Structure 1
Amino acid sequence: MTTPRAAKALRVAMIGYGFMGAAHSQGWRTAPRFFDLPLEVDMAVVVGRDREQAEKAAAKLGWREAATDWREVIEREDIDLIDICTPSDSHAEIAIAALRAGKHVLCEKPLANTVGEAEAMAEAAAEAAERRVFAMVGFTYRRVPATALARDLIAAGEIGAVRQARAAYLQDWLASEDAPLTWRLDKRIAGSGALGDLGAHIVDMVQYVTGESIESVSGLLRTFVTERPVLGSSVGLPGTGGAERGPVTVDDAALFTGALIGGGVATFEATRMAMGRKNGLRFEISGTEGAIAFDLERLNELELYTTSDGANAGFRRILVTEPEHPYAGAWWPAGHGLGYEHGFSNQVRDLVGAIAAGKQPAPSFADGLQVQRVLDAVERSSEAGSAWLDIHPLERSVTS
């Protein structure tokens, strides 16, 4: 077992180069050019199963070289950090091996496919942290300036004690019955459907902005389209279906209610069947003295209502682009908005800063485990007729 060698550069290997790999690459490329990072970032190697495609990805995304065996890359002495952008069925094996080899880890969400896998990952991360080797889970929406500001305002008491949280993540890319079967619709690979893919984000977001864990849930899952065209089969005109169809083994929609540790309640909706909604992550937090609302499709804005405004009280729009706002000062002049990709650069800033300082980055694998326990309880609740289930063992608070 080795530990990372002291170096001016943080030498990164990324495993997987699909949608999330491209987004993470954007973050690694761009963060050093906008933030004064305490370590240089060396985009050393990207790993994929197909040599030719991995080499194309390396050239396109900015990595120095390509490889096809992640196990060999993890054992290399010239690698300090492993960035995991693979489907979630491989997260546990890769992350645990990397941590035991003395490599820092950034792992995409959801942390794993099962609570057991997530527990093993969190245990490995805790052991590694004792050697100043750190792990972080990529809940990137925490790095949107408006969501970070929402957390700051709630922590400062702007809306008083939290009473209710309402959160939804709505997409429509599976609304058509002829949308093709992909790995995201296979429970063996994805773990769950909208629940894990989208629900993980809103569970983490509510816990993050309120600073409170979910202690119990009641859930309902539905799969509306049970078979879809197999990729590569002959697909006819819209509505005619394909020559070959395969089973969908995950949920299309998840609805659940949660109780917060501070006494408040929360409602959640996650679906990939919401016609007309492309990437609509929304939350509204209501407290004893006001409320805060956010919509990812208007990600540079935050709505704030406080009773202190008296007769003129009402939601007011905050354009979260001022230098004083979280992350915003590193980017453009006030009023010039950021986009989806900036969250990944902000994530790199936080991760590199924590590693250089020898501190645990957030969200930790323990935070990812808490989310996994909530997702698992929602699934078991649905199977039990929406019974209320406690989250055990419960992490009492959520790291910032």
Structure 2
Amino acid sequence: MTDPLSVGMLGYGFMGRAHANALARLPMFFPDAPAVNRHTLIGRDEAALSEAADRLGFAHTATDWREVVDDVDALYNLAPNHLHAEPSIAALEAGTAVLCEKPLAATLSDAESMVEAATDAAVPACCGFNYRFVPAIQYAKRLIDRGDLGEIRTFRGRYLQDWLVDPDAPWTWRMDADSAGSGALGDLGAHTIDLARFLVGDHAGRIERVAAQLQTFTDERPVYDDAGETVTEYRPVTVDDAYTAQLAFANGAIGGVEASRVAAGHKNDHTIEIHGTEGSLRFSLERLNELEVLTGDSRGYETVLVTEESDPYAGSWWPPGHVLGWEHTFVHESSEFLPAVADGTPASVAAVASFADGYAVQRVLAAIEDAADRGSWVAVDDDLTTAGE
């Protein structure tokens, strides 16, 4: 495919801005990537949609995704979680590649339908776990795959935010189980589970069992008028504000993961630690250009600034020491996804999470919810049977 790839984008909020920015930056810093035509922006509100299309650089707008999936080469599905399945499946059946934001779906059954559609498709079907594309995370994977940490023993991950500390923070679709599926678990925990699989899955094996606790601290939240001043109603919060879980890996390694949207003082604190028989590493998203590494005979951690030209993706940007930001991860993601679309690579892309990866994460999320409900360890199986039954 030599013509510019036409992209349709469903959604123009937070994630819409992130991905549209990535598409605009891509030819400047990744000149070997396919040319892209930001073709159609999709949303419900025609007035807001028109303004967003002008701002984000899309030539056309549509209020129905069904009118678009046959007319573009790739669909970026950035809609709320309950709208991930139907448009993505329709696009794949039409021969249109899909990059769908995480979590893959609001329910395990929808995720299963999506991965089945991806299996039958002859185009890439990918899930947007953008933190795979932090250069320091890619560098960490190199170290682990090279054996520098030895046999993996433990994985720890936390994702803490504070945007819901105030009980008067406004209600959004992310607080509704029908729209979101879960709260901090799916919104934040999905990233942590994906990194566990991405970084140590080949070494510690699959996550086999989980035990967990989920908690909602504020049972209802206000809906405000258009001016954002007067409360018009209160709506129930039907998802978790925070979760904690224990993980058991196939090789005997153990893990602990947690997430909260009510952790005062934490804005976007995604931190992981991995410990092996020969070394350890630590990473924090709030210091995303750094990786703390301990190997060999070192008596303490070394802080590595991952900005050298030889570091993953870093050579496409600035001289060493000129740090990257959160938004660059989406550029890196599209730099891997779009060449596969142009080449007609089926089903998945090596560096980008596939729908199968997204489904595997969804199975862990579902098991965590089930374990919290039962108050016991649960096996990560399709039928979510209790471990040991």
Give the TM-score category using the shorter length.
Answer: over 0.9
Partner in structure 1 of residue 96 of structure 2: 103
Is 1:254 equivalent to 2:249 in the alignment? no
- Give the CA deviation at 1:134: 1.2
Once the two structures are overlaid, the 10-residue window that deviates more, 356-365 or 323-332, is: 356-365
| 8 Å contact from structure 2 (residues 224, 231) kept in 1 | no
Report SS of the residue matched to 2:165: coil
Q: What is the distance in 2 between the residues matched to 1:235 and 1:332?
A: 41
- Give the CA deviation at 1:231: 3.0
Partner in structure 1 of residue 40 of structure 2: 45
Compute the TM-score of the two structures, normalised by the length of structure 1. Answer: 0.91
**After superposition, where does 1:13-52 map in structure 2 within 5 Å?**
13-52=8-47
Query: Which of 280, 285, 288 is 2:274 aligned to?
Result: 285
Partner in structure 1 of residue 290 of structure 2: 301
- Give the CA deviation at 1:245: 1.8
Residue by residue over 1:122-147, the C-alpha shift from the partner in whole angstroms, topping out at 9 and shown as x without a partner, is: 0100100xx3x111000000000001
Is 1:193 equivalent to 2:186 in the alignment? no
| 8 Å contact from structure 2 (residues 11, 43) kept in 1 | yes
- Give the CA deviation at 1:355: 2.7
Residue by residue over 1:61-119, the C-alpha shift from the partner in whole angstroms, topping out at 9 and shown as x without a partner, is: 1111211111011122xx11000010010000010000001100000000001111001
Write the letter of the residue equivalent to 1:193: G
| 8 Å contact from structure 1 (residues 48, 54) kept in 2 | yes
Query: Which of 157, 163, 167 is 1:167 aligned to?
Result: 157
Report SS of the residue matched to 1:230: strand
Write the letter of the residue equivalent to 2:252: G
| 8 Å contact from structure 1 (residues 159, 289) kept in 2 | yes
Q: What is the distance in 1 between the residues matched to 2:153 and 2:183?
A: 29
Report SS of the residue matched to 1:339: coil
- Give the CA deviation at 1:234: 9.3
Partner in structure 1 of residue 387 of structure 2: none
Q: What is the distance in 2 between the residues matched to 1:300 and 1:86?
A: 29
Report SS of the residue matched to 1:258: strand
Write the letter of the residue equivalent to 1:99: L
Is 1:225 equivalent to 2:213 in the alignment? no
Q: What is the distance in 1 between the residues matched to 2:340 and 2:276?
A: 32
| 8 Å contact from structure 2 (residues 104, 362) kept in 1 | yes
Report SS of the residue matched to 1:308: coil
Query: Which of 182, 189, 192 is 2:172 aligned to?
Result: 182
Unpaired runs of 5+ residues, structure 1, are 1-5, 395-400
- Give the CA deviation at 1:9: 1.5
Query: Which of 113, 134, 146 is 1:144 aligned to?
Result: 134
Query: Which of 88, 91, 98 is 2:84 aligned to?
Result: 91
Q: What is the distance in 2 between the residues matched to 1:86 and 1:37?
A: 29
Write the letter of the residue equivalent to 1:338: L
Q: What is the distance in 2 between the residues matched to 1:325 and 1:262?
A: 30
| 8 Å contact from structure 2 (residues 225, 231) kept in 1 | no
Is 1:328 equivalent to 2:321 in the alignment? no
Residue by residue over 1:181-206, the C-alpha shift from the partner in whole angstroms, topping out at 9 and shown as x without a partner, is: 11110111011100000010100011
Q: What is the distance in 1 between the residues matched to 2:221 and 2:64?
A: 32
- Give the CA deviation at 1:259: 1.0
| 8 Å contact from structure 1 (residues 172, 274) kept in 2 | yes
- Give the CA deviation at 1:260: 1.5
Q: What is the distance in 2 between the residues matched to 1:358 and 1:370?
A: 24
Q: What is the distance in 2 between the residues matched to 1:316 and 1:393?
A: 41
Once the two structures are overlaid, the 10-residue window that deviates more, 136-145 or 359-368, is: 359-368
Q: What is the distance in 2 between the residues matched to 1:184 and 1:95?
A: 20
Q: What is the distance in 2 between the residues matched to 1:7 and 1:98?
A: 21
Unpaired runs of 5+ residues, structure 2, are 384-389
- Give the CA deviation at 1:50: 1.5
| 8 Å contact from structure 1 (residues 136, 363) kept in 2 | yes
Identity percentage of aligned residues: 47
Q: What is the distance in 1 between the residues matched to 2:23 and 2:379?
A: 39
Q: Count matched residues.
A: 376
Report SS of the residue matched to 1:8: coil
Report SS of the residue matched to 1:370: helix
Q: What is the distance in 2 between the residues matched to 1:185 and 1:222?
A: 13
Q: CA-atom RMSD, angstroms?
A: 1.6
Partner in structure 2 of residue 72 of structure 1: 67
Report SS of the residue matched to 2:92: helix
Q: What is the distance in 1 between the residues matched to 2:156 and 2:78?
A: 29
Write the letter of the residue equivalent to 1:89: H
Q: What is the distance in 1 between the residues matched to 2:343 and 2:142?
A: 22
Write the letter of the residue equivalent to 1:302: L
Which runs of structure 1 show a deviation greater than 4 angstroms over 4 or more consecutive aligned residues? 233-236
